[in-house]
Amino acid sequence: MKELIYVLVDHNGENINPTSLETLVLGQELAEKTGRRLHALLLGCNVRNLAEQLAGYEVDSVIYTDNALLEDYTFESQCEALSQILKTETPALLLMAHSYQNIDMAPRLSARLGKALVTDCVDFKLSEGELVFVRKMFRAKLYADVRVRSEPPWLVTLQAGSRFADALVKGSAKVIDRQVDLSSVEIKRVTGETVDFAKDRVDLSQAETIVAVGRGIKKQENMDLIRDLADVVNAEIGASRPVVDNDWLSRDRQIGSSGQTVSPRLYLAIGISGAIQHVVGMKSSQCIVAINSDRNAPIFNVATYGILGDLQEIVPALTKKLREIL
Ligand SMILES: Cc1cc2nc3c(=O)[nH]c(=O)nc-3n(C[C@H](O)[C@H](O)[C@H](O)COP(=O)(O)OP(=O)(O)OC[C@H]3O[C@@H](n4cnc5c(N)ncnc54)[C@H](O)[C@@H]3O)c2cc1C
Protein backbone atom coordinates (compact mmCIF):
# COMPACT_ATOMS: atom_id res chain seq x y z
CA MET A 1 0.00 0.00 0.00
CA LYS A 2 1.26 3.48 -0.86
CA GLU A 3 2.32 5.64 2.03
CA LEU A 4 0.57 8.94 1.50
CA ILE A 5 -2.69 10.23 2.94
CA TYR A 6 -4.30 13.20 1.23
CA VAL A 7 -7.07 15.24 2.82
CA LEU A 8 -9.12 17.35 0.43
CA VAL A 9 -9.97 20.59 2.22
CA ASP A 10 -13.22 22.35 1.23
CA HIS A 11 -13.57 26.11 1.50
CA ASN A 12 -15.72 28.97 0.21
CA GLY A 13 -12.78 31.07 -0.97
CA GLU A 14 -12.56 32.83 2.39
CA ASN A 15 -12.98 30.23 5.08
CA ILE A 16 -12.12 26.58 5.47
CA ASN A 17 -15.07 24.26 5.97
CA PRO A 18 -15.05 23.14 9.66
CA THR A 19 -15.87 19.55 8.65
CA SER A 20 -12.71 19.51 6.51
CA LEU A 21 -10.72 20.42 9.63
CA GLU A 22 -12.39 17.50 11.43
CA THR A 23 -11.34 15.32 8.48
CA LEU A 24 -7.79 16.60 8.88
CA VAL A 25 -7.90 15.46 12.53
CA LEU A 26 -8.76 11.95 11.31
CA GLY A 27 -5.89 12.25 8.81
CA GLN A 28 -3.49 13.16 11.63
CA GLU A 29 -4.66 10.16 13.68
CA LEU A 30 -4.24 7.84 10.71
CA ALA A 31 -0.81 9.25 9.92
CA GLU A 32 0.28 8.74 13.50
CA LYS A 33 -1.05 5.18 13.74
CA THR A 34 0.12 3.98 10.32
CA GLY A 35 3.32 5.99 9.89
CA ARG A 36 2.05 7.41 6.61
CA ARG A 37 2.73 10.95 5.50
CA LEU A 38 -0.17 13.41 5.53
CA HIS A 39 -0.80 16.11 2.95
CA ALA A 40 -3.60 18.65 2.82
CA LEU A 41 -4.97 19.37 -0.64
CA LEU A 42 -6.71 22.58 -1.58
CA LEU A 43 -8.35 23.29 -4.94
CA GLY A 44 -9.49 26.78 -5.88
CA CYS A 45 -8.50 30.13 -7.27
CA ASN A 46 -6.30 32.52 -5.24
CA VAL A 47 -6.19 30.12 -2.33
CA ARG A 48 -2.55 30.54 -1.30
CA ASN A 49 -3.62 32.37 1.89
CA LEU A 50 -5.87 29.45 2.86
CA ALA A 51 -3.01 27.05 2.09
CA GLU A 52 -0.79 29.05 4.43
CA GLN A 53 -3.39 28.82 7.18
CA LEU A 54 -3.43 25.04 6.77
CA ALA A 55 0.37 24.98 6.91
CA GLY A 56 0.02 25.87 10.60
CA TYR A 57 -1.14 22.31 11.30
CA GLU A 58 0.93 19.16 11.56
CA VAL A 59 0.95 17.93 7.96
CA ASP A 60 3.88 17.11 5.71
CA SER A 61 2.79 19.65 3.14
CA VAL A 62 -0.13 21.66 1.91
CA ILE A 63 -0.60 21.21 -1.81
CA TYR A 64 -2.75 23.84 -3.47
CA THR A 65 -3.95 24.34 -7.01
CA ASP A 66 -4.85 27.80 -8.25
CA ASN A 67 -6.94 27.75 -11.39
CA ALA A 68 -9.75 30.02 -12.57
CA LEU A 69 -11.82 26.93 -13.46
CA LEU A 70 -11.70 25.90 -9.80
CA GLU A 71 -13.04 29.19 -8.46
CA ASP A 72 -16.63 27.97 -8.37
CA TYR A 73 -17.37 24.33 -7.76
CA THR A 74 -18.05 22.18 -10.80
CA PHE A 75 -17.66 18.44 -10.64
CA GLU A 76 -15.99 18.45 -14.08
CA SER A 77 -13.09 20.69 -12.96
CA GLN A 78 -12.76 19.09 -9.53
CA CYS A 79 -12.74 15.56 -10.97
CA GLU A 80 -10.20 16.46 -13.62
CA ALA A 81 -7.88 18.24 -11.17
CA LEU A 82 -8.11 15.40 -8.64
CA SER A 83 -7.66 12.71 -11.33
CA GLN A 84 -4.44 14.36 -12.49
CA ILE A 85 -3.12 14.70 -8.94
CA LEU A 86 -4.11 11.20 -7.79
CA LYS A 87 -2.73 9.54 -10.93
CA THR A 88 0.68 11.16 -10.43
CA GLU A 89 1.04 11.06 -6.66
CA THR A 90 -0.98 7.84 -6.05
CA PRO A 91 -1.68 8.26 -2.34
CA ALA A 92 -3.15 5.38 -0.34
CA LEU A 93 -6.12 7.46 0.72
CA LEU A 94 -8.02 10.57 -0.23
CA LEU A 95 -10.06 11.69 2.77
CA MET A 96 -12.88 14.19 2.29
CA ALA A 97 -15.59 15.77 4.39
CA HIS A 98 -19.03 14.26 3.68
CA SER A 99 -20.17 17.65 2.36
CA TYR A 100 -22.88 18.23 -0.27
CA GLN A 101 -20.16 19.12 -2.75
CA ASN A 102 -18.13 15.98 -2.12
CA ILE A 103 -21.23 13.77 -2.17
CA ASP A 104 -21.79 15.13 -5.68
CA MET A 105 -18.18 14.80 -6.80
CA ALA A 106 -16.76 11.70 -5.09
CA PRO A 107 -18.89 9.03 -6.85
CA ARG A 108 -17.94 10.54 -10.22
CA LEU A 109 -14.26 10.55 -9.26
CA SER A 110 -14.52 6.97 -8.01
CA ALA A 111 -16.13 5.87 -11.30
CA ARG A 112 -13.60 7.75 -13.39
CA LEU A 113 -10.59 6.31 -11.57
CA GLY A 114 -12.15 2.90 -10.97
CA LYS A 115 -11.31 3.21 -7.27
CA ALA A 116 -13.28 2.29 -4.15
CA LEU A 117 -15.35 4.92 -2.36
CA VAL A 118 -16.45 4.54 1.27
CA THR A 119 -18.93 7.23 2.27
CA ASP A 120 -20.08 8.83 5.51
CA CYS A 121 -17.55 7.13 7.80
CA VAL A 122 -17.41 8.00 11.47
CA ASP A 123 -14.21 6.21 12.47
CA PHE A 124 -11.47 3.80 11.47
CA LYS A 125 -9.80 0.75 13.05
CA LEU A 126 -6.61 -1.11 12.46
CA SER A 127 -7.38 -4.81 12.46
CA GLU A 128 -4.29 -7.01 12.15
CA GLY A 129 -2.55 -4.21 10.29
CA GLU A 130 -5.50 -3.79 7.93
CA LEU A 131 -7.27 -0.44 7.74
CA VAL A 132 -11.00 -0.76 8.36
CA PHE A 133 -13.52 2.08 8.08
CA VAL A 134 -16.56 2.34 10.34
CA ARG A 135 -19.87 3.70 9.08
CA LYS A 136 -23.36 3.80 10.52
CA MET A 137 -26.15 1.78 8.95
CA PHE A 138 -29.93 1.64 9.34
CA ARG A 139 -30.15 5.02 11.09
CA ALA A 140 -27.21 4.15 13.32
CA LYS A 141 -28.76 0.94 14.67
CA LEU A 142 -25.69 -0.89 13.35
CA TYR A 143 -22.07 0.04 12.82
CA ALA A 144 -20.50 -1.60 9.77
CA ASP A 145 -16.78 -2.32 9.42
CA VAL A 146 -15.81 -1.73 5.80
CA ARG A 147 -12.71 -3.41 4.37
CA VAL A 148 -11.62 -2.22 0.93
CA ARG A 149 -10.28 -4.79 -1.54
CA SER A 150 -9.40 -2.57 -4.50
CA GLU A 151 -6.08 -0.92 -5.28
CA PRO A 152 -5.35 2.50 -3.77
CA PRO A 153 -6.13 5.31 -3.69
CA TRP A 154 -9.25 4.67 -1.67
CA LEU A 155 -11.70 7.56 -1.50
CA VAL A 156 -13.29 8.07 1.90
CA THR A 157 -15.76 10.68 3.16
CA LEU A 158 -16.16 11.53 6.85
CA GLN A 159 -19.42 12.42 8.59
CA ALA A 160 -19.57 15.89 10.20
CA GLY A 161 -19.04 15.77 13.95
CA SER A 162 -16.98 12.56 13.90
CA ARG A 163 -13.96 14.44 15.25
CA PHE A 164 -13.36 17.79 17.01
CA ALA A 165 -11.54 20.34 14.88
CA ASP A 166 -9.84 21.80 17.94
CA ALA A 167 -8.01 18.48 18.37
CA LEU A 168 -5.87 19.43 15.34
CA VAL A 169 -2.19 19.24 16.19
CA LYS A 170 -0.32 22.44 15.31
CA GLY A 171 2.80 22.35 13.16
CA SER A 172 4.64 24.07 10.38
CA ALA A 173 4.37 22.63 6.88
CA LYS A 174 5.65 23.61 3.49
CA VAL A 175 3.20 24.95 0.92
CA ILE A 176 3.41 23.51 -2.59
CA ASP A 177 1.88 25.08 -5.69
CA ARG A 178 0.67 22.21 -7.87
CA GLN A 179 -0.57 23.15 -11.31
CA VAL A 180 -3.11 21.10 -13.22
CA ASP A 181 -4.14 21.37 -16.86
CA LEU A 182 -7.87 21.91 -17.10
CA SER A 183 -7.90 23.04 -20.75
CA SER A 184 -9.79 19.91 -21.83
CA VAL A 185 -12.53 20.36 -19.24
CA GLU A 186 -15.98 20.91 -20.67
CA ILE A 187 -18.34 22.30 -18.07
CA LYS A 188 -21.86 21.10 -18.75
CA ARG A 189 -23.54 22.19 -15.54
CA VAL A 190 -23.20 25.70 -14.18
CA THR A 191 -24.26 26.64 -10.68
CA GLY A 192 -26.52 29.69 -10.65
CA GLU A 193 -27.19 31.58 -7.48
CA THR A 194 -26.18 29.84 -4.27
CA VAL A 195 -29.00 30.17 -1.76
CA ASP A 196 -28.30 29.50 1.88
CA PHE A 197 -31.44 27.68 2.99
CA ALA A 198 -29.85 26.97 6.34
CA LYS A 199 -29.33 30.70 7.02
CA ASP A 200 -32.25 31.03 9.40
CA ARG A 201 -31.99 27.50 10.75
CA VAL A 202 -30.25 26.54 13.92
CA ASP A 203 -27.21 24.42 13.13
CA LEU A 204 -26.97 22.21 16.19
CA SER A 205 -24.29 20.05 14.56
CA GLN A 206 -21.66 22.72 15.34
CA ALA A 207 -22.80 23.40 18.93
CA GLU A 208 -20.31 22.69 21.72
CA THR A 209 -22.98 22.47 24.43
CA ILE A 210 -26.64 21.49 24.02
CA VAL A 211 -29.37 21.60 26.63
CA ALA A 212 -32.01 19.23 25.26
CA VAL A 213 -35.51 19.08 26.64
CA GLY A 214 -38.11 16.34 26.45
CA ARG A 215 -41.76 15.74 27.24
CA GLY A 216 -40.85 15.62 30.93
CA ILE A 217 -40.92 19.44 30.89
CA LYS A 218 -44.72 18.97 30.74
CA LYS A 219 -45.82 22.43 29.51
CA GLN A 220 -44.57 25.40 27.55
CA GLU A 221 -44.59 27.71 30.59
CA ASN A 222 -41.84 25.55 32.09
CA MET A 223 -39.52 26.15 29.14
CA ASP A 224 -37.99 29.17 30.94
CA LEU A 225 -36.21 26.68 33.23
CA ILE A 226 -34.42 25.31 30.16
CA ARG A 227 -33.68 28.73 28.65
CA ASP A 228 -32.14 29.93 31.94
CA LEU A 229 -29.87 26.89 32.15
CA ALA A 230 -28.88 27.15 28.47
CA ASP A 231 -28.09 30.81 29.00
CA VAL A 232 -25.77 30.13 31.92
CA VAL A 233 -23.80 27.39 30.14
CA ASN A 234 -23.89 29.25 26.79
CA ALA A 235 -25.67 26.35 25.09
CA GLU A 236 -27.98 25.83 22.15
CA ILE A 237 -31.38 24.39 23.03
CA GLY A 238 -32.36 21.08 21.47
CA ALA A 239 -35.44 18.92 21.89
CA SER A 240 -37.00 15.52 21.54
CA ARG A 241 -39.81 15.14 19.06
CA PRO A 242 -42.83 15.59 21.39
CA VAL A 243 -41.57 19.05 22.39
CA VAL A 244 -41.43 20.04 18.72
CA ASP A 245 -44.77 18.36 17.93
CA ASN A 246 -46.29 20.48 20.72
CA ASP A 247 -44.84 23.62 19.09
CA TRP A 248 -42.88 24.46 22.23
CA LEU A 249 -39.76 24.73 20.05
CA SER A 250 -39.19 24.99 16.30
CA ARG A 251 -38.68 21.87 14.17
CA ASP A 252 -34.99 22.69 13.48
CA ARG A 253 -34.25 22.04 17.16
CA GLN A 254 -35.36 18.41 17.00
CA ILE A 255 -32.59 15.90 17.59
CA GLY A 256 -32.86 12.31 16.44
CA SER A 257 -33.53 10.10 13.48
CA SER A 258 -35.93 12.58 11.90
CA GLY A 259 -34.09 15.63 13.25
CA GLN A 260 -30.47 16.71 13.51
CA THR A 261 -27.48 14.56 14.44
CA VAL A 262 -25.28 16.24 17.02
CA SER A 263 -22.02 15.51 18.82
CA PRO A 264 -21.33 18.36 21.25
CA ARG A 265 -18.82 18.22 24.09
CA LEU A 266 -21.68 18.38 26.60
CA TYR A 267 -25.27 17.19 26.08
CA LEU A 268 -27.77 17.73 28.87
CA ALA A 269 -30.83 15.53 28.35
CA ILE A 270 -33.62 16.85 30.55
CA GLY A 271 -36.88 14.92 30.87
CA ILE A 272 -36.00 12.78 27.84
CA SER A 273 -36.66 9.05 28.09
CA GLY A 274 -33.99 7.93 25.62
CA ALA A 275 -36.04 6.36 22.83
CA ILE A 276 -33.83 4.91 20.07
CA GLN A 277 -35.05 7.53 17.58
CA HIS A 278 -33.70 10.24 19.89
CA VAL A 279 -30.53 8.46 20.97
CA VAL A 280 -29.25 7.89 17.40
CA GLY A 281 -29.04 11.64 17.01
CA MET A 282 -27.01 12.39 20.15
CA LYS A 283 -25.15 9.31 21.32
CA SER A 284 -21.80 10.43 19.94
CA SER A 285 -21.81 13.44 22.30
CA GLN A 286 -18.63 13.52 24.37
CA CYS A 287 -20.30 13.85 27.76
CA ILE A 288 -24.01 13.17 28.34
CA VAL A 289 -25.73 14.29 31.53
CA ALA A 290 -29.27 12.96 31.92
CA ILE A 291 -31.85 14.31 34.37
CA ASN A 292 -34.84 12.04 34.75
CA SER A 293 -37.25 11.01 37.51
CA ASP A 294 -37.50 7.40 36.29
CA ARG A 295 -34.51 5.30 37.32
CA ASN A 296 -35.28 2.84 34.50
CA ALA A 297 -35.28 5.49 31.76
CA PRO A 298 -33.11 4.17 28.86
CA ILE A 299 -31.34 7.54 28.61
CA PHE A 300 -29.31 6.47 31.66
CA ASN A 301 -27.81 3.64 29.54
CA VAL A 302 -26.04 6.15 27.30
CA ALA A 303 -25.44 8.85 29.95
CA THR A 304 -21.99 9.62 31.32
CA TYR A 305 -23.64 11.05 34.44
CA GLY A 306 -27.22 10.50 35.57
CA ILE A 307 -29.19 12.68 37.95
CA LEU A 308 -32.28 10.92 39.30
CA GLY A 309 -35.03 13.29 40.36
CA ASP A 310 -37.61 15.89 39.47
CA LEU A 311 -36.32 18.32 36.84
CA GLN A 312 -38.45 21.07 38.40
CA GLU A 313 -36.19 20.92 41.44
CA ILE A 314 -32.89 19.93 39.84
CA VAL A 315 -32.74 22.34 36.91
CA PRO A 316 -33.22 25.59 38.91
CA ALA A 317 -30.72 24.37 41.55
CA LEU A 318 -28.19 23.46 38.84
CA THR A 319 -28.67 26.81 37.09
CA LYS A 320 -28.19 28.69 40.37
CA LYS A 321 -25.02 26.77 41.23
CA LEU A 322 -23.55 27.15 37.75
CA ARG A 323 -24.32 30.87 37.74
CA GLU A 324 -22.29 31.19 40.93
CA ILE A 325 -19.25 29.35 39.63
CA LEU A 326 -19.14 30.23 35.92
C1 LIG B 1 -40.38 7.31 12.56
C2 LIG B 1 -40.12 7.98 13.89
C3 LIG B 1 -39.16 8.98 13.94
C4 LIG B 1 -38.90 9.62 15.16
N5 LIG B 1 -37.94 10.58 15.21
C6 LIG B 1 -37.64 11.14 16.40
C7 LIG B 1 -36.60 12.12 16.49
O8 LIG B 1 -35.96 12.51 15.50
N9 LIG B 1 -36.32 12.63 17.72
C10 LIG B 1 -36.98 12.23 18.85
O11 LIG B 1 -36.66 12.73 19.93
N12 LIG B 1 -37.97 11.33 18.77
C13 LIG B 1 -38.32 10.79 17.58
N14 LIG B 1 -39.34 9.90 17.53
C15 LIG B 1 -40.17 9.69 18.74
C16 LIG B 1 -39.53 8.73 19.74
O17 LIG B 1 -39.93 7.41 19.42
C18 LIG B 1 -39.99 9.04 21.18
O19 LIG B 1 -41.40 9.01 21.22
C20 LIG B 1 -39.53 10.41 21.68
O21 LIG B 1 -38.14 10.53 21.53
C22 LIG B 1 -39.86 10.53 23.16
O23 LIG B 1 -39.58 11.83 23.58
P24 LIG B 1 -39.34 12.15 25.11
O25 LIG B 1 -38.21 11.34 25.63
O26 LIG B 1 -39.25 13.62 25.25
O27 LIG B 1 -40.73 11.72 25.77
P28 LIG B 1 -41.09 10.50 26.68
O29 LIG B 1 -40.68 9.22 26.09
O30 LIG B 1 -42.53 10.67 27.05
O31 LIG B 1 -40.17 10.71 27.97
C32 LIG B 1 -40.36 11.73 28.89
C33 LIG B 1 -39.35 11.47 30.01
O34 LIG B 1 -39.44 12.50 30.96
C35 LIG B 1 -39.30 11.94 32.25
N36 LIG B 1 -39.94 12.85 33.20
C37 LIG B 1 -41.27 13.11 33.31
N38 LIG B 1 -41.47 14.03 34.27
C39 LIG B 1 -40.25 14.35 34.76
C40 LIG B 1 -39.80 15.22 35.77
N41 LIG B 1 -40.65 16.00 36.47
N42 LIG B 1 -38.47 15.27 36.04
C43 LIG B 1 -37.59 14.52 35.35
N44 LIG B 1 -37.97 13.67 34.37
C45 LIG B 1 -39.27 13.59 34.09
C46 LIG B 1 -39.97 10.59 32.17
O47 LIG B 1 -39.48 9.73 33.17
C48 LIG B 1 -39.61 10.14 30.77
O49 LIG B 1 -38.43 9.38 30.79
C50 LIG B 1 -39.62 9.24 16.34
C51 LIG B 1 -40.57 8.23 16.26
C52 LIG B 1 -40.82 7.60 15.06
C53 LIG B 1 -41.85 6.50 15.01
- Ordered by start, the domain boundaries in the chain are 4-194, 199-325
Give the span between the Cα atoms of 144 and 149, in whole angstroms: 16
CA 224 / ligand 1 centre spacing (Å): 19
The pLDDT value given to residue 191? 79
Give the closest residue (by CA) to ligand 1 atom 29.
273
Calculate how far, in angstroms, residue 240's C-alpha sits from the geometric centre of ligand 1: 6
Ligand 1 atom closest to residue 258's alpha carbon, by position in its atom list? 8
Mutate to test the pocket of ligand 1, among 205, 240, 250, 294 (most ligand atoms within 8 A of CB): 240
Q: Tell me the percentage of the chain whose pLDDT exceeds 90.
A: 80
State in Å: Cα 219 to ligand 1 middle: 14
Using the mean position of ligand 1's atoms as its centre, give its distance from the Cα of residue 142 in Å: 21
Q: Which of 51-60, 192-201, 241-250, 299-308 has the lowest mean pLDDT?
A: 192-201
Tell me the mean pLDDT in the region 32-49: 96
Q: Dihedral of CA 231/234/236/240: which sign? A: negative
Whether domain 4-194 has CATH 3.40.50.620: the reply is: yes
Fold of 199-325: Rossmann fold (3.40.50)
| CA 193 to centroid of ligand 1, rounded, Å | 40
Decide if pLDDT at 28 tops 90.
Answer: yes
Q: Which residues line ligand 1 (CB under 6 A)?
A: 214-216, 240-242, 254-259, 271-273, 275, 277-278, 281, 291-294, 297, 310-312
For the residues of 158-217, what is the DSSP string, one character each?
A: E-TTSS-GGGPPB---EEEE-----TT------------GGGGS--GGG-SEEEEE-GGG
**Model confidence, pTM:** 0.73
Whose C-alpha lies nearest to ligand 1, atom 7?
Answer: 256
Which of 258, 276, 280 has the most ligand 1 atoms within 8 A of CB, as the residue to mutate? 258
Could you tell me the pLDDT band of residue 2, with boundaries at 50, 70 and 90? low
